[in-house]
Amino acid sequence: MPRTRPSRDLAAPVVVVGSGIAGLSFALKATRHAPVLLLTKKNAAESNTNYAQGGIACVTSAEDSYELHVRDTLEAGAGLCREDVVRQVVQEGPARVAELIELGVRFSEREEGGGGPDLGKEGGHTKRRVLHAGDITGRELERALLSAVRSHPRITIRENMVAIDLITTKKLRRKGPNRVVGLYALDAGRHQVEAVAASAVVLATGGCGKCYLYTTNPPIATGDGVAMAYRAGVPVMNLEFVQFHPTCLFHPAAQTFLISEALRGEGAVVVNAAGEDFTRKTDPRGSLAPRDIVARAMDEEMKESGAACVYLDIRSRGSEFLEQRFPEITGTLRKLGIDPARQPIPVVPAAHYQCGGVQAKLNGRTSLPGLLALGEVACTGLHGANRLASNSLLEALVMAHEAAEKLPTLIEGSTGVEKLPDWKEGKAHDADELVVITHNWREIRQLMWDYVGIARTNKRLQRAKSRLGLLLQEVQGFYWDFRVTPDLLELRNLALCSALIVESALRRHESRGLNANADYPEISKTAKDTVIRAGEI
């Protein structure tokens, strides 16, 4: 491996880390105030947004209303949503979606009934309100946003940049109030660590689905933003609420392929091997109940029967409908030997969305001046204990808009972009056995799946905490002894995020939303957030 070279100057008034819908939308709007440098750790199109199939929940129909969308969101969130945040996101939705359309995003339209948007319906929604682009909505959003970002004269994109840690005035031992002044990032192509100076750093890094063995998330979802913010002293909130998507394809050749919830909105039913609709035993809405309810019902069915999976049955809609409404999913399944028009689709729940995150306002402001957190990396109070389907892209759009509008006030107190000290690797050397990194990566994901999954107990959580404590020490040793690599940096973040999830779950003595603990089966009368502050783990 080439030797890690010292850093070189790299600076911008605003640095955005992440190239999903939150980061790209913010970057475009922030250019009204300052030039933007956008860092992404793979290519710019690689993000959780790009894999989103369902769509954007937004009130656009005369049959729908803000109040109904608010009510559905609050009900899914199991008493832990902030209603003021929910109302603002829902009410701003139509304006933000209109901006996407103006930018060139092409949503699917109805062929009958005079045209108009073809609105989908998903679990927890009482009305059709999900705008989509077939079953590749995320890809369409990335296409339009990336095209605009790449052509913008005030935005610079640097790919293959793996963020390491935030740089603060406290870390530099400077007098005065603590604030962000930049970050260190590894240029993976050049094996060079760069000090990136900024007046404001925006974390738009997505979630931490790769903490789990089975996930619908791409490999990049290693919780980098949460880990970086926590190490910099910013509180994290409600990380115990990891949403498991009920329908991930169960197939050895496509272990992270999501079967969109929109199929259930169009009549698909979750059944067992005998073809029984078992979900109605726990909720009258059956397969269209919120995700936490459906995922738990599936988990219980699989444990009781010993089955490796259950099934999603949409045979009633036929080939023509499936090919028109879900061309990507139908085509992929048929390539794998599964014809959804003729046979049920084997599915299992898989880690999908991080409902908690860095404690932040709707405008992205965190407790650390100069640091903003947008999208899935942030916890604003919108999702509560369980995210309503397709609300995440909406939140990202609203947060990006609010943060860009208020950017001048959010970076007040900055002395401007300044020279930062070079990265010092000290006596670090190349790792002699990379197998230790690979082994620990696998062990973390396996123990999180086994002990911190859909159904939890105190005993399992304590086992996870004990082992993760040792793994954190090992990984920190690797970090100090070895030259940094993308795999090592992701392992470091993965281990910390896993420990934060476990600690959050141990602190919640109830079963609410996505946190189901057999030792605390009841829901508390008072809904409280779980907040972990610096140094508490």
What are the pLDDT digits (tens) for 445-496? 999 999 999 999 999 999 999 999 999 999 999 999 889 999 999 999 999 9
For residue 306, is it left (φ>0), alpha (ψ between -120 and 50) or beta?
left
The more confidently predicted of residues 122 and 255 is: 122
Average pLDDT for residues 279-297, to the nearest whole number? 91
**pLDDT of the residue at 10:** 85
- Look at residue 11 and give its three-state secondary structure: strand
Nearest partner of 265 among 115, 128, 108, 74, judged by Cα: 128
**pLDDT of the residue at 183:** 97
**Residue 435 confidence class, pLDDT cut points 50, 70, 90:** confident
* Per-residue pLDDT tens digits for 51-67: 666 799 999 999 999 99
Is the pLDDT confidence value at 514 over 60?
Answer: yes
Q: For residue 79, which amino acid is it?
A: G
**pLDDT above 70: percentage of residues in the chain:** 95
Specify the fold of 249-350: Flavocytochrome C3; Chain A, domain 1 (3.90.700)
- Look at residue 176 and give its three-state secondary structure: coil
- DSSP-derived secondary structure letter, 162: E
Burial group, residue 339, by CB count within 10 angstroms (0-12, 13-18, 19+): middle
Is the pLDDT confidence value at 531 over 90?
Answer: yes
- Look at residue 442 and give its three-state secondary structure: helix
- Look at residue 80 and give its three-state secondary structure: coil
Average pLDDT for residues 216-233, to the nearest whole number? 96
Query: How many angstroms separate the CA atoms of 98 and 101, rounded?
Result: 5
**pLDDT of the residue at 417:** 76
**pLDDT of the residue at 356:** 98
Query: How many angstroms separate the CA atoms of 52 and 57, rounded?
Result: 13
Lowest-confidence region among 18-22, 84-88, 118-122? 118-122
* Per-residue pLDDT tens digits for 139-178: 899 999 999 999 999 999 999 999 999 999 999 999 989 9
Is the pLDDT confidence value at 219 over 80?
Answer: yes
Do 123 and 264 contact (CB within 8 A), yes or no?
yes
**pLDDT of the residue at 418:** 81
| Catalytic residue flag (residue 291) | yes
**Residue 432 confidence class, pLDDT cut points 50, 70, 90:** low
Query: How many angstroms separate the CA atoms of 292 and 241, rounded?
Result: 10
**pLDDT of the residue at 123:** 83
Average pLDDT for residues 19-46, to the nearest whole number? 92
Average pLDDT for residues 32-50, to the nearest whole number? 83
Q: Which CATH number fits domain 435-522: 3.30.200.20, 3.50.50.60, 3.30.70.270, 1.20.58.100?
A: 1.20.58.100
Specify the fold of 17-57+134-241+355-410: FAD/NAD(P)-binding domain (3.50.50)
Which residues make beta-bridge pairs with 372?
202, 365
Query: How many angstroms separate the CA atoms of 497 and 491, rounded?
Result: 10
**Boundaries of every domain in the chain:** 17-57+134-241+355-410, 249-350, 435-522
**pLDDT of the residue at 281:** 92
Give the number of other CB atoms < 10 A from CB of residue 286: 19
Is the pLDDT confidence value at 304 over 80?
Answer: yes
Is the pLDDT confidence value at 513 over 50?
Answer: yes
- In 250-344, which ranges are E strands? 269-271, 310-313
**Residue 7 confidence class, pLDDT cut points 50, 70, 90:** very low
Is residue 84 within a helix (H) or strand (E), and if so which, with residue range? Answer: helix 83-103
**pLDDT of the residue at 5:** 46
**pLDDT of the residue at 52:** 66
- DSSP-derived secondary structure letter, 2: P
Do 60 and 221 contact (CB within 8 A), yes or no?
no
**Residue 48 confidence class, pLDDT cut points 50, 70, 90:** low
Lowest-confidence region among 113-117, 434-438, 528-532? 113-117
**pLDDT of the residue at 419:** 87
Burial group, residue 337, by CB count within 10 angstroms (0-12, 13-18, 19+): exposed
Give the side-chain half-sphere CA count within 13 A for 26. 36
> From the candidates 158, 179, 264, 291, which is the catalytic residue?
291
Do 385 and 515 contact (CB within 8 A), yes or no?
yes
Is the pLDDT confidence value at 1 over 90?
Answer: no
Give the side-chain half-sphere CA count within 13 A for 503. 18
Is the pLDDT confidence value at 134 over 60?
Answer: yes
